[in-house]
């Protein structure tokens, strides 16, 4: 009985054409996704039985795969259908879905041509949300010493399985007792956070760093830029450094997990009046409305 219950409660994972219980979803220790971080992935939210910005996430997935010369063995439409089916099999109405494409099993060398077939798996699960108090009171963040990968080396616009750069920064954030960290480029420009994009507002002008300096082209970032423009605000993609952050009126982060989250302290400097800014709060409200009312239906 205990065992049956466990089986019933187990997540169902899509893996290379089959839907299997999570405990049976296994990949080879020779998979280059594991051995070398050679692969790509996405993180996508489901709100109110609809997938938010599914096409945008999938486009980024296929773009990332193309840049690393990885052929995804499913067509765009098939991938979409497998994602929706995985959500249905897990009865997810509010949650998160993670498609992952690895280079597949090869030998112990780096050569991707030794990997005969890419592996595809899709995990659908609940999402651990940030506590509401972070949205009400804002985050305290710090800048960390680990620099964001240089785009000339490993372009952060590729959403690859190689997240060690971000993990090193996350460790530094945790050492400083904060949950998110600002990362800089080698030249010292603010670029993004370990798993979020960053925005600042000064005199009602909204700024975010351009992705070409080394930030992920965040789906939430794109949505936020549109919302800001629709609110009649001037929206600029522009490089800036920590000075501009410290003297900004408002600051916030964007990401699939965090949504839009206010920042009230950076490296010990209070941002604005130390409370989530009014424009940020407007954006949070508009963003939440959008997530609840748009998206690809899962169950129709
Ligand atoms: N930057 C990094 C490094 C990330 O991992 C993420 C989360 N995927 C983001 C930004 C935010 O992107 P999105 O809004 O598409 O989730």
Interval between CA 8 and ligand 1 midpoint (Å): 32
How many Å lie between the centroid of ligand 1 and the Cα of residue 155? Answer: 14
pLDDT of residue 230 exceeding 90, the answer is: yes
> Please, where are the H alpha helices in 113-192?
132-137, 164-175
Q: What is the CATH number of domain 132-293?
A: 3.20.10.10
Give burial (CB, 10 Å; 0-12/13-18/19+) of 11. middle
- Give pLDDT, residue 228: 98
% of the chain at pLDDT higher than 70: 97
46 Cα to the center of ligand 1, angstroms: 16
3-state class (DSSP) for residue 50: strand
Q: What is the mean pLDDT of residues 216-223?
A: 98
Integer CA distances (angstroms), 101 to 117, 120, 169, 185, in order: 10, 5, 24, 28
pLDDT of 5: 45
Given a cut of 70, is residue 4 above it in pLDDT? no
Cβ of residue 197 lying under 6 Å from some atom of ligand 1: yes
Task: Indicate the top mutation candidate among 216, 259, 260, 290 to test ligand 1's pocket, ranked by most ligand atoms within 8 A of CB.
Answer: 216
8 band by pLDDT with thresholds 50, 70 and 90:
low
User: Is the CB of residue 138 less than 8 Å from the CB of residue 276?
Assistant: yes
Query: Is residue 98's pLDDT more than 70?
Result: yes
Q: Does domain 2-125 have CATH number 3.40.190.10?
A: no
**300 pLDDT tier (thresholds 50, 70, 90):** confident
Q: What is the pLDDT of residues 112-171, one digit of tens each?
A: 999 999 999 999 999 988 899 999 999 999 999 999 999 999 999 999 999 999 999 999
Residue to mutate, 53, 197, 261, ligand 1, most ligand atoms under 8 Å from C-beta: 197
For residue 159, indicate whether it is catalytic: yes
Residue 221 contacts residue 212 (beta carbons within 8 Å): no
Segments making up each domain of the chain, as ranges: 2-125, 132-293
- Given a cut of 70, is residue 202 above it in pLDDT? yes
Strands (E) in 103-228, as ranges, are 119-125, 139-143, 181-184, 190-193, 197-202, 205-208
**CB-based contacts of 120: which residues, under 8 Å, 6+ apart?**
14, 15, 16, 72, 73, 74, 79, 82, 99, 100, 101
Domains 2-125 and 132-293 share a fold: no
Nearest atom in ligand 1 to 220's CA: 14
């Amino acid at each position: 009985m205990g065992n049956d219950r466990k089986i019933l409660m187990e997540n169902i994972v899509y893996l290379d054409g089959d839907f299997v219980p999570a405990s049976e979803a296994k990949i080879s220790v020779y998979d280059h996704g594991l051995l070398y971080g050679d692969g790509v992935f996405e993180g996508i939210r489901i709100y109110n039985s609809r997938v938010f910005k599914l096409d945008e996430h999938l486009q980024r997935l296929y773009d990332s795969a193309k840049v690393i010369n990885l052929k995804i063995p499913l067509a765009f439409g098939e991938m979409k259908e497998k994602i929706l089916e995985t959500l249905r099999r897990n009865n997810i109405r509010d949650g998160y879905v993670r498609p992952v494409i690895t280079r597949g099993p090869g030998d112990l060398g780096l050569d991707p041509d030794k990997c005969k077939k890419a592996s595809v798996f899709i995990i659908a699960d609940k999402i651990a949300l940030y506590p509401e108090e972070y949205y009400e009171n804002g985050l305290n963040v710090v800048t960390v010493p680990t620099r964001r990968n240089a785009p000339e080396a490993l372009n952060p616009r590729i959403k690859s399985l190689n997240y060690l750069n971000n993990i090193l920064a996350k460790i530094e954030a945790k050492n400083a007792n904060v949950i998110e960290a600002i990362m800089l480029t080698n030249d010292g420009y603010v670029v993004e956070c370990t798993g979020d994009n960053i925005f600042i507002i000064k005199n009602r002008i909204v700024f975010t760093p351009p992705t070409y300096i080394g930030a992920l082209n965040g789906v939430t970032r794109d949505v936020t830029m549109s919302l800001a423009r629709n609110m009649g605000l001037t929206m600029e993609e522009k490089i800036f450094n920590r000075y501009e952050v410290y003297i900004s009126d408002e600051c916030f982060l964007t990401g699939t997990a965090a949504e839009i989250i206010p920042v009230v302290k950076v490296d010990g400097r209070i941002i604005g009046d130390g409370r989530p800014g009014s424009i940020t709060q407007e954006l949070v409200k508009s963003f939440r409305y959008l997530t609840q009312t748009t998206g690809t239906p899962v169950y129709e």
